[in-house]
Amino acid sequence: MAGTTVSGGSRATLEPPEPRDPSLHSRPRPLRVRLRPWLLLAAPLVVIGALLIYPIVRVAYLSFHRYGLKEVISGHPVFTGLDNYREVLGGSYLWKTVLPNTVVFAAFAVVGTIVLGTLVALLLQRVGPAVRAAIIASALLAWALPAVTGTYVWVWIFDPDSGVVRKMLQGVGLLGPEGFNWFTERLSFYAIATLNVIHHGYPFIAITIFAGLTTVPAELHEAAKIDGANAWQRFWQITVPMMRPVFAVVTILSTIWDFKVFAQVYLMPGGSGSNPDVFNLGVWSYVESINRNQYGLGASIAVLLTLVLLVITVVYLRALFREDEIS
């Protein structure tokens, strides 16, 4: 009989719980309760505002002024409106040199980093615990290596006089005794920079994707294998769709990081100012600001770089959300 229990021969009737007063849910919460989350976030928000928002606003402010060495000494920048942006956008140097260097380099670096990171993640999924730990440890060493140190290592590898690559190519007869300076040519310069960035960035991608792979149900792969799907088909039809949010995050982060690469270009021979053909937006902004004391012009370049990153991120997120709506 519903609503009754029998215990030790006695019969007890369970009374149904009293209905809750619906008015309790409609009452507004006290002000101190509503403000509590914001009070807990106050300190981090203040730190973020001081370290991030204020510099961005300051850079945007300087981009509309002439702020050279004279103005730095006087402390009074001269408002010039959009003159800095006209100078940057009106010249051919941005469109023929700096922007192609930035975009093409970032595209190859992002694709290379994600491909290598995905391959390493798939390898981690297949090996045993001991080998997995060794691979992760070696990858983390590459990731923990500072960008400055890693760049100098790659410069040493491709040193025109005594680099490892020169000795290897001369040993197999592919390079003559005159050698070759890899850092004077635009293509070879950015090929080295791309290898540097991929080597430094793939561990984060690999570990992130490996963590995502652990959430993909093994039953789906087993069912697809029974249906005759090979490894390539299982990867594209099961793993990639389920891992799309993870791939979106690592792609956006890699794009932001690779578009604003600085040390890997600036520290290579010619990247600090002697070879303008290899400047990207970040290095160009720094050289104009620090080396040439044109802080307003450098700030306008930095603002353009920020806007490019925002546009890329928004476009990619819109495309991702549109795919989710369609599916």
Question: Could you tell me which residue, 18 or 238, shows the higher pLDDT?
Answer: 238
The neighbour count for residue 104, using CB atoms within 10 Å, is: 14
Q: How far is CA 264 from CA 26, 63, 102, in A?
A: 58, 25, 13
Residue 176 lies in a domain: yes
DSSP letters spanning 235-249:
IIIIIHHHTHHHHHH
Structurally, how many domains does the chain consist of? Answer: 1
Rg of the chain on CA atoms, in Å: 29
Residue 241 lies in a domain: yes
Question: According to the model, what pLDDT value does residue 24 have?
Answer: 47
Residue 35 lies in a domain: no
Mean pLDDT of 219-240: 83
Over residues 24-54, the pLDDT tens digits come to 455 667 777 778 888 888 888 888 878 888 8
The residues facing 5 across adjacent strands are 12
**CATH code, domain with 175:** 1.10.3720.10
Mean pLDDT of 174-202: 90
What 3-state class would DSSP assign to 84? helix
**Which range has the top average pLDDT, 1-5, 70-74, 284-288?**
284-288
pLDDT bin (cut points 50, 70, 90) of residue 63 is very high
Domain housing 219: 71-326
Angle between helix axes 83-90 and 295-326 (nearest 10 degrees) is: 70
pLDDT bin (cut points 50, 70, 90) of residue 203 is very high
Whole-number mean pLDDT of the chain?
84
- At 190, the amino acid letter reads Y
Between CA 128 and CA 116 the distance in angstroms is 20
Question: According to the model, what pLDDT value does residue 116 have?
Answer: 94
Residue 87 lies in a domain: yes
User: To which residue do tokens 């890899």 refer?
Assistant: 182
Residue 13 lies in a domain: no
Beta carbons of 105 and 261 less than 8 angstroms apart: yes
Residue 308 lies in a domain: yes
Over residues 265-297, the pLDDT tens digits come to 999 998 888 899 999 999 999 999 988 889 999
pTM for this structure?
0.78
User: To which residue do tokens 């990153």 refer?
Assistant: 309
Between CA 32 and CA 323 the distance in angstroms is 41
Between CA 110 and CA 261 the distance in angstroms is 12
Beta carbons of 309 and 282 less than 8 angstroms apart: no
Mean pLDDT of 221-243: 84
- At 123, the amino acid letter reads L
Those residues whose C-beta lies under 8 Å from the C-beta of residue 106, and which sit 6 or more positions away, are 255, 258, 259, 261
Mean pLDDT of 232-258: 86
- At 56, the amino acid letter reads I
User: To which residue do tokens 């002439």 refer?
Assistant: 66
**pLDDT for residue 193 is more than 90:** yes
Taking alpha carbons only, the member of 102, 143, 104 closest to residue 265 is 102
Residue 168 lies in a domain: yes
Those residues whose C-beta lies under 8 Å from the C-beta of residue 132, and which sit 6 or more positions away, are 124
Residue 32 lies in a domain: no
Over residues 97-149, the pLDDT tens digits come to 999 999 999 999 999 999 999 999 999 988 888 998 998 888 888 888 889 99
